[in-house]
Structures are given as structure tokens and as C-alpha cells.
Amino acid sequence: MIFFFIAIPIINFVVSYVKQKVFRVKVGLEVLIDKSLSNVNIQTNASLKSFSPIRGRAAFMGFDIDVSQKSADRMCTKSKKRIFTPTNIKKLLLYIDKIDFGKGGRNNRVVKKLILDALSRLNSEKIGFKISSGNFGRFANMLTHRNGRTIVYLNEMFREVLGLIDKKDTSFKSKELKAKLALFFAILVHESYHKSRPKRGKMPAFVEEMNAGLKELEIYILMGEELRNLILKFLKENFKDKPNVYNLAESIFMLADSFDIEVNDKVTEYYEPRYRGKHFIPGTFTPKGKGEFISEIFMISRGEEIIPKEIKEFYYYLLKEAGKGNISMQEIGFAIMSISENLSLLGYDKDLKDELKRELKDKKYWPLLMEGFRKEIEFGTAGIRGRRGLEMDIDNEELMYLPGPNRINPDVISKYMLGITVYIIKKGWKERGLVLGFDVRKGSKELAELA
């Protein structure tokens, strides 16, 4: 085992469990989860129409689940001719100080930084924006056309927002316009995390959508409670005939409230905000925070429709286990995100990735996978140092390592070692050196060499 002779602060997270949740899935699946039940009742309605895989990439806010992605892709292209470039949109940064993100605008500075970063990504991908004519079931929808041009089509309500680009007088008093501007900035950040030419396959698109959603959520967190309430009021008044749009917005903002340090003093369970002096800088979503977003927002609003077949049955297995009280919904969300990233992103150990693929194909390994991916192992004697031994799979085959962030394996050691290295460099200790130790347990020497 590796011994790191450095004290790193550890935060133990208290897992909150909601006793009963009802999941209504667009493809006709209804799952009732109750801790008092010993199982999960799954009812399917075969008569409901199934949808084709997502082509367009839409922001979460304004996503109407009654409009299929195929229909949204078709309807949104009825648009005005003018294309707004990231350079055009940059002029809207002047209005951030008039919106006030957080109490007294305390988060304005970091929001400007996030918007500038988003515009840079959009510019490098050569992505433009158009105002669409009429309602297409989304506030924003990104499409890459056959000619290679990628356009984000915007709901007609944002016409007034983009109209500010050509306006010389930057003053305005309209609360409705303030709400629209704030929404537009969140949508801008979301769409900037999509590629104009995404990788082929459902899994990369699935992962891209999850990460873009988290970045969108961060803007809602930074808005502060007052601005979120203003937006909810605007949506309630202007989308009375679209209850799905308002209900989803309300769910997203409830989550943002629990992640906002101005509202919840236990925010570090979900999102760890950071400050430099009085100024806020982008924080970090914890495994619990990621899991809450994936299970409470992503899977319900769209994830069920687009979940890749490689993990679909395993996901339903996890829902059943939640009904038995063996795993929380937050842990399910984190497991789905962790497995998807492992399967689609670079940097993961090849042997562990192959083992993950093998275990996903056989149900007898699923309890093993559930344990390995439900959370991140903690750093400390009871966590990362206490979990390494001779690990076996269901067949009692002696394996050097098992996959998952809740195991001791090369992926986990690499991640922690990278974090420690960055910590040492930031502290100015890089000239002091680092002592690494290992013992006789299986794989300890190999992990020490990797570190």
C-alpha cells in the first residue's frame, strides 16, 4: 500500500435520502421508489411512441419533454437569416453588472470569466447563433448542418436580448429583460461545452450532455436566490401553457438553492465554492453534487431517452436496488456518470476499462459494479488505505485490481497523486521531495511505481 506522508483535509459527506420519489420517464417507464418497499415497480406502456437518438444538443432550461428531439430539430431551423457570432455576443458582457449575480453582484466577476471562456470555446468551434421563428420546444438547440456549419437556434424570446448588441445606450429597467439576459448567459455556457463535430456514438454524446448540464447549473448557482426567483416568476407568467418548462425550471432552481452557499450553509456536500479574498472563483461539484444533478434533473428530463444500451439495463438494476434500500438515488447518478466517462474518455487504464466492459455484459457482476462505482473512495486510513487487499470478482478469480472510483486501482491512484502533486506545487514545496512507501499486499509495489 502507498503511504502519503502529507495531511490532506477530508470532508465526510452526509448522505440525505428522500424516502419516496416517482420517476416519470418519457418512453413510458414509471418507477416508484420507496425505502419502505422491498422492490421497484416497473410498468411499461408499449403504446407510447419511442424517440430517435438525440441529434440536436439543447440546454436544460426550456426543455419541453412533450416535444421530441427530432421534432425540435426540424422546427427550430425556421429562423431569421442573421447569424450572431461569439464576437457579436461579447458586447453583452457590459450588461452583467446590471443583472447582479449573487447578493449585491458578488458573483459578477466570476460569471464574466465563465462567459468569456464560453465565448472563446464557441469561437474556436465556429459556432453561430440564430433567432428561431416560433416555439420548437427548447430555449436553445444546437445543430450541425450538412454543410458543416453549426448553429445554436434560440427561442424567439431572446430576440430582445440579442437586440441589445446594436444598442448604444446600455441602460434598461425591465425585469423581464433582466431574466431573459440571465437565462441567455446560462444557455451560452451550456452550449459552449458541446463540440461542433462531436465524437460518433451515443456514449460520448451522453457524457458531453451531462458535463454541459453541470456547467449550466453552475451559472444558476451563481445567480443567487433573488435572480432565480425573478426568472421563475417570468417563466410562470409567460409559459402558462407549457407546465413542463416551468416545472423543470423549478426543479433545477431547487437544486441550485441547495448548492448555493447563500442559501445552504452545508453546500460543501454538493458544491465546494472557493474564494480569493472577497472574490468568488469557480468551484467544484462533489460526487454527491454530480449524482444529485444526474439523478434528479438529467435522467428525468432527457437521460432516459438517450442512455446508451451498454449501461441501460445496469441502470434499471440500480433503480431496483434503490427500492431495496441498497443504494441512494444520488449514488446511482454518480455511478452512471462515472461509468459513462470511463467508457468514453481518454486517460483511463485500458485493462480496467476492458474489465468494466466485461462486467457490464454479465448480470452476476452487477453487485460488484454497484459497489465500485457508487461513490469516490475517501482519502484516509478508513478509506483509501483501508480498502486495498486481495480483491476478487464474483467467480473468485484473483484480480490485481477492480474498476471504479470506490476501489484501489491505477485510475484512483493516478487521480489522487495528480491532486497531491498540484497541492505540493501550489504550496511551493516542489523542491522538498515526496516520500512514497508500499507494503507486501498485492499490487502495492506496482501502485507505488505508478505514483
Over residues 15-39, the pLDDT tens digits come to 233 323 333 333 333 333 333 333 3
Query: Alpha-carbon distance 127 to 148, whole Å?
Result: 10
Of 156, 196, 165, 168, the residue nearest 56 (C-alpha): 196
Span between the terminal Cα atoms of the chain, in Å: 11
Confidence of residue 3 (pLDDT cuts 50, 70, 90): very low
What's the grid cell of residue 380?
484516509
Confidence of residue 319 (pLDDT cuts 50, 70, 90): very high
Of 25, 59, 61, 50, the residue nearest 40 (C-alpha): 25
Query: Alpha-carbon distance 161 to 140, whole Å?
Result: 13
Look at residue 279 and tell me whether its pLDDT is greater than 80: no
Q: What is the mean pLDDT of residues 56-64?
A: 93
Q: Beta strand pairing status for 57-58 and 140-144?
A: antiparallel
Inter-CA distances, 341 with 82, 223, 347, 348, 371, Å: 37, 28, 10, 9, 17
144 forms bridges with which residues in the sheet? 150
Look at residue 189 and tell me whether its pLDDT is greater than 60: yes
Q: How many CB atoms lie within 10 A of CB 185?
A: 27
Q: What is the mean pLDDT of residues 147-166?
A: 94
Query: Alpha-carbon distance 231 to 168, whole Å?
Result: 26
The pLDDT score that the predictor gives to residue 168 is: 83
Look at residue 322 and tell me whether its pLDDT is greater than 50: yes
What's the grid cell of residue 61?
432550461
Q: Which residues of 325-358 are buried (b: 16+ CB within 10 A; e: fewer)?
A: eebbbbbbbbbbbbbbbbbbeeebbeebeebbee
DSSP state letters, 294-336: IIIIIIIIIIHHH--HHHHHHHHHHHHHHHTTSS-HHHHHHHH
Going 416 to 419 to 423 to 425, the CA torsion angle's sign is: positive
Which carries the bigger pLDDT value, residue 199 or residue 380? 199
Look at residue 52 and tell me whether its pLDDT is greater than 70: no
- Residue 174: CB partners within 8 Å, gap ≥ 6? none
Look at residue 278 and tell me whether its pLDDT is greater than 90: no
Q: What is the share, in percent, of the chain residues with pLDDT greater than 90?
A: 60
Query: Alpha-carbon distance 62 to 234, whole Å?
Result: 12
Which carries the bigger pLDDT value, residue 27 or residue 88? 88
The pLDDT score that the predictor gives to residue 450 is: 87
Listed range (374-378, 392-396, 423-427) with the worst mean pLDDT: 392-396
